[in-house]
Structure 1
């Protein structure tokens, strides 16, 4: 009976030492279901929520990058329209001769071609942002951003068509330089002002989406930090576990020494009886 009790005590010491060592090496108190079944379930749920928040934050950051790319492209297009307005004003006065007016229209049409190039080339990860596709000048696709770890209404962009066709500038793009008069130039000023306003509206829409994404990111970070804080309860108390491991290690050494001494005494007793 005494041997069995000693064996049970030694096994318990070794198990406690191994448990302390596992906690020290992994940094968490619960490493298997037997440590704390209910606690393990809670910790698993917290880790799952944290993973969901992490992915949702990555989604929002990608969405913010997309809106920033769109905003940069739209800013470039706005600069082009400003230049075109200056040139139209120059062409609309009769102090500019016909040859000069034709040269101005050529510049305008080159700028409009550049305007369309920006629309066709602006994309994020294969998604064309300012029109349907690189080859299709129709409206862009609605883009949705999943910004929650659960099902819910995603943040999304509106369809936009930021090209000469969408902003009704295609007639100016196709105007014949040979017959371009000062009256024609003046007639395009209102069209251009409308295009500038429409472009500003598109910029505002992307800015609004970016603001929503940034707000969502802040909320997700707050929730993620709270969840991580809740999971900290299950983190290893290193001071306590090192102390426990040292204690169990000493007890194991004492047990081994005691067992060795016991075996030595038993051998001496047997030797005397056989003498």
Structure 2
């Protein structure tokens, strides 16, 4: 029906044009952000799931960093123990040298002084080696140490060790005489075995943490893939929607223009 007061066709065209522009705006927003879900109104349940997954991914990534920090800490301690190893080997060499009876008292004193210096160096390394102020080489209580956390209820505790000369059993060792040197030789051999046991324990812990980082990386990748499937836009599908909405918007503009001419046609009948 032709009408002058109310233009129903223009109202319809305007409504559909608004819908087309709204859909076009949504497609542009999704393609610009790369996300299918930009606000709760896009997909309320999907948004909730996505945010939970993002939180899980953040925890997994931080857990990986924690495990890597733990590996760095153990590498620092293990490196210090390698220096202690060199000192103990030198002490054993000196003890073997002093165990023979072909050296003078003065020569033995020189060997004794070096032996004691090596012992003091072991104590210095044990007391001074730290990682972020955490010390693991002078712990008389084997239960003390550092806990590496990498998720809810997930952690690995790295126990401290004591590699000071007193704990290794060489604190009172001396090579000032051939007899004492023979006793010191046995004591240093035992000390090396104790140190090797502690060093091996750190090696086991590094292997555990490296395995942990691999598992965490896989979990992170899978979680990110799941989050992407929920949240990310399907570019091909959205480009098709964008093209469709552009055509509809252009058609809507054209039809609205045509509809706005209808009252003029009605007026022409009154002339």
Provide TM-score, normalisation by structure 2: 0.88
Q: CA deviation digits over 1:27-57, x for unaligned, max 9? A: 2211222222222222222222211211111
Matched residue, 1:243? 240
Contact kept? 2:34, 2:233, Cα under 8 Å: yes
1:31-46 equivalent positions in 2, closer than 5 A: 31-46=38-53
Matched residue, 1:144? 147
2:180 to 164, 177, 184: 184
- In 1: Cα distance, 2:146 partner to 2:250 partner: 66
1:258 aligns with 2:255: yes
- In 2: Cα distance, 1:25 partner to 1:268 partner: 42
Tell me the secondary structure at the aligned position of residue 145 of structure 2: coil
1:162 aligns with 2:158: no
Count of paired positions: 262
Matched residue, 1:93? 100
Matched residue, 2:200? 204
1:225-236 equivalent positions in 2, closer than 5 A: 225-234=221-230, 235-236=232-233
Name stretches of at least 5 consecutive residues in structure 2 with no aligned partner.
1-7
- In 1: Cα distance, 2:224 partner to 2:22 partner: 29
Name stretches of at least 5 consecutive residues in structure 1 with no aligned partner.
133-137
Tell me the secondary structure at the aligned position of residue 166 of structure 1: helix
Q: CA deviation digits over 1:140-164, x for unaligned, max 9? A: 73211112x2124x21112311111
Matched residue, 1:218? 214
Provide TM-score, normalisation by structure 1: 0.87
Give the structure, 1 or 2, with the largest relative contact order (CA under 8 Å, sep 6 or more): 2
1:26 aligns with 2:55: no
Tell me the secondary structure at the aligned position of residue 94 of structure 1: coil
The Cα of 1:171 is off from its aligned counterpart by 1.5
